[in-house]
Structure 1
Amino acid sequence: MRIDAHHHLWDLSAVTYPWLMEKGVARFFGDPSPIQRNYLLPEFRADAEAEGFGASVHIQVGAADPWAEAQWVQSVADQFPDWPLVQVAFCDLTADDLDKQLDRLQTLPSVRGVRQIIGRAPGEDAITGTNTLLEDPKFLAGLKQLGSRGLSFDLQLLPELMEMTADVLSQGSETRIALCHAGSPHDRTAQGLQRWADGLMTLSNLPQVCCKLSGLGMFDYNWSAESVSPIVATCLSQFGAGRCMFGSNFPVDSLSSTYKEVVSMHQELVPASNQDDVFHGTAKRFYRFE
């Protein structure tokens, strides 16, 4: 049974997503118009099952009310018990009522961890200011609290922030970290990929960090197996297959590829001897599938 370690679902009548409902605004990952509609488990599941997947990890995706989103995802997991679905919910690790928020999230059986985005894309980060989380001592304290509760942290950031982030993570080594989208290598020039690989090393040197092979089409809409081969190879070399896992990033990556194409390109690039870990074992261990 393969596990898709990174995807999203949404029901626009049940949960409000401001970014998704905003019309006519291009994002760093492309024009969101084709995905500004309901994307529910049966549709995702049909594509995933066709490629041998039988379980998945839902990642929070910018709801106006993160608790409403987490409850809705739990309701989906409850509705489809034959599809093992766990989730990574949003929580502000710098919040004064962090204890209360985490207590509430942990009443939901599907919750395995938290994501609070540190970096999305250079232009958008300049507006949102999320990069400043790394400088807030409350963020490190919250990160440590996740570890003490058995919760993981999904880390989305840019290569420019990797070294600073590694310094923070090294102080909270009990918390398991999943690096989203291979660290978002947005500069695909030879020099840009070298800077990314150098930054990635500061994270891969930390044993609590795993890496997701996901979202590789967000910064290159015409990506191919050949174009992302150096990225996949570097991740496997630095982390090893036992700390790498596949994620489709659907439906966001459906803007540039079909589900089958995403899976096929990763299959082509991941050596056969590594595929059990990348498509199953790492995600099963990290997200604690039973």
Structure 2
Amino acid sequence: MTLPPAPLLTPSRQIAIREDWLARRQEEILLPGLPIIDPHHHLWDHPGERYLFDDLLRDVGTGHDIRATVFVQCGAMYRADGPEALRPLGETEFVNGAAAMSASGQYGPARLCAGIIGMVDLTLGDRVAPLLEAHLALAGPRFKGVRNRTAWHPSPEVRSNLVTPPPGPLAHPGFAEGARVLARLGLTLDVWAYHTQLPGVLALARAVPELTVVIDHAGGPLGVGPFAGRRAEVFPEWRRSMLALAALPNTVVKLGGLAMQVGGFEFHRAELPPDSATLATAWRPYVETCIEAFGPARCMFESNFPVDKGMCSYAVLWNAFKRLAAGAGEAETAALFSGTAARVYRLDPIGPDQA
């Protein structure tokens, strides 16, 4: 059989989505009645990259019991004019509209974008207060926190943002002060950082112990550029940093994002998409390390769609997560798939009567 064309990278260096290729792998949904909150996805319409409400709706409707989702900052629909600090309000407006559509019930029972993680530049320090209040005024209780562009490495081969961020926002003198304002308002901070940056995340979490710091994408173990072919060397370094972060009670971690191009897994280059058992085997060392270190009550599985969609479908991805959690008890499973996300992002809990 002829191999599929080599996958292209999008302008933001994500693996291009090939729906026809993904359709080659169909699986029966495991545990279809398990309630899930997907705490990390995006919506955007960037050049060469389009993933909007209808696209998300199709993915969450592929068989798993998705009850709610959380949108996370990605530079979508910023205002074209006005003061620079206010332009990210356009993203919150855009996503709040999608959330309102879903809340109408017209598009099914799942509440898409029930939580919104937006963008406010925390390096502005205590000047972020009116900006955060503006986001809250637009989205009300749907606005749960912020994420800044922080994932950075000096190698040009290590990139996962449409716009390359400056090298050191986490260490900026104003960042911790801005983070303290977040905490005062009861908001969370999502941080997307590569494993090489985790000591900086640790310093921030220590400096602002009253803030809930959400570590995105399992702490970003790298597998490209200078880290290509060095997984055995990267793992212990990543693990040491994750154990240090887990020792702080104000940190939680998202289990996912391992199908990104920067992670170095190359299942997207195969003739057929990976099955869930293959993904679970590959990701088990990272997922089990996180669950053992943080505990299920501080871990949550995430889709990171559409970024991870370049390597696997939504249905297969959640099957892989269910395989990874197969040894957990009922309470631990509920935490991993919905409870932690509901608590951290202050969403409606999923109780036994709703399951």
Q: TM-score over 0.5 for the alignment? A: yes
Paired AA for residue 114 in structure 1:
V
Match of 2:122, SS state, is coil
Report the Cα distance in structure 1 between the residues aligned to 2:205 and 2:123, rounded to whole angstroms. Answer: 15
Match of 1:165, SS state, is helix
User: Please, which of 177, 194, 212 is the counterpart of residue 176 of structure 1?
Assistant: 212
Equivalence for 1:56? 69
The alpha-carbon deviation at position 9 of structure 1 amounts to: 1.5
Structure 1 gap segments, 5+ residues each:
13-19, 22-32
Equivalence for 1:112? 144
2:289 counterpart of 1:289: no
Report the Cα distance in structure 2 between the residues aligned to 1:230 and 1:131, rounded to whole angstroms. Answer: 29
Residues 131 and 200 (structure 1), Cα distance of their counterparts in 2 relative to 1, 3 Å cut? farther
Paired AA for residue 102 in structure 2:
F
Q: What does the per-residue CA deviation read over 1:32-91, in whole Å, with 9 as the maximum and x for residues that have no partner?
A: x5xx23x23333233324211110000111236221111010111112214432110011
Equivalence for 1:244? 299
The alpha-carbon deviation at position 129 of structure 1 amounts to: 5.1
The alpha-carbon deviation at position 206 of structure 1 amounts to: 1.0
Report the Cα distance in structure 2 between the residues aligned to 1:69 and 1:5, rounded to whole angstroms. Answer: 17
CA contact (8 A) 1:90 1:115 kept: yes
Equivalence for 2:56? 44
The alpha-carbon deviation at position 256 of structure 1 amounts to: 0.6
Report the Cα distance in structure 1 between the residues aligned to 2:58 and 2:170, rounded to whole angstroms. Answer: 39
2:92 counterpart of 1:70: yes
CA contact (8 A) 1:48 1:54 kept: no
Alignment of 1:89-238 (within 5 A): 89-95=118-124, 97-107=127-137, 108-109=139-140, 110-120=142-152, 122-123=155-156, 124=158, 128=164, 130-187=166-223, 189-218=231-260, 219=263, 220-222=265-267, 224-238=279-293
Report the Cα distance in structure 1 between the residues aligned to 2:93 and 2:222, rounded to whole angstroms. Answer: 33
CA contact (8 A) 2:120 2:131 kept: yes
The alpha-carbon deviation at position 227 of structure 1 amounts to: 1.2
Identity of aligned residues (%): 29
Q: What does the per-residue CA deviation read over 1:75-114, in whole Å, with 9 as the maximum and x for residues that have no partner?
A: 1111221443211001100127422211101111211000
Residues 216 and 147 (structure 1), Cα distance of their counterparts in 2 relative to 1, 3 Å cut? same
Rg (Cα) greater in structure: 2
Paired AA for residue 198 in structure 1:
R
Report the Cα distance in structure 1 between the residues aligned to 2:195 and 2:305, rounded to whole angstroms. Answer: 22
User: TM-score when scaled to structure 1?
Assistant: 0.86
CA contact (8 A) 2:118 2:145 kept: yes
CA contact (8 A) 1:119 1:130 kept: no
Equivalence for 2:9? none
Paired AA for residue 124 in structure 2:
A
Residues 215 and 288 (structure 1), Cα distance of their counterparts in 2 relative to 1, 3 Å cut? same
Report the Cα distance in structure 1 between the residues aligned to 2:248 and 2:209, rounded to whole angstroms. Answer: 8
CA-based RMSD of the aligned residues comes to: 2.0
Report the Cα distance in structure 2 between the residues aligned to 1:178 and 1:130, rounded to whole angstroms. Answer: 21
2:63 counterpart of 1:8: no
Match of 2:150, SS state, is coil
Indicate the structure with greater helix content. Answer: 1
User: TM-score when scaled to structure 2?
Assistant: 0.71
Paired AA for residue 74 in structure 1:
N
Structure 2 gap segments, 5+ residues each:
1-34, 79-87, 224-229, 268-277, 349-355
Paired AA for residue 90 in structure 2:
A
Match of 1:131, SS state, is coil
Q: How many residues align?
A: 268
Report the Cα distance in structure 2 between the residues aligned to 1:105 and 1:231, rounded to whole angstroms. Answer: 34
Report the Cα distance in structure 1 between the residues aligned to 2:77 and 2:42, rounded to whole angstroms. Answer: 15
Paired AA for residue 287 in structure 2:
V
Q: What does the per-residue CA deviation read over 1:155-191, in whole Å, with 9 as the maximum and x for residues that have no partner?
A: 1101111123212211101111111000111136112
Report the Cα distance in structure 1 between the residues aligned to 2:219 and 2:152, rounded to whole angstroms. Answer: 10
Equivalence for 1:17? none
User: Please, which of 288, 298, 315 is the counterpart of residue 260 of structure 1?
Assistant: 315
Equivalence for 2:334? 276
CA contact (8 A) 1:244 1:278 kept: yes
Report the Cα distance in structure 1 between the residues aligned to 2:95 and 2:38, rounded to whole angstroms. Answer: 16
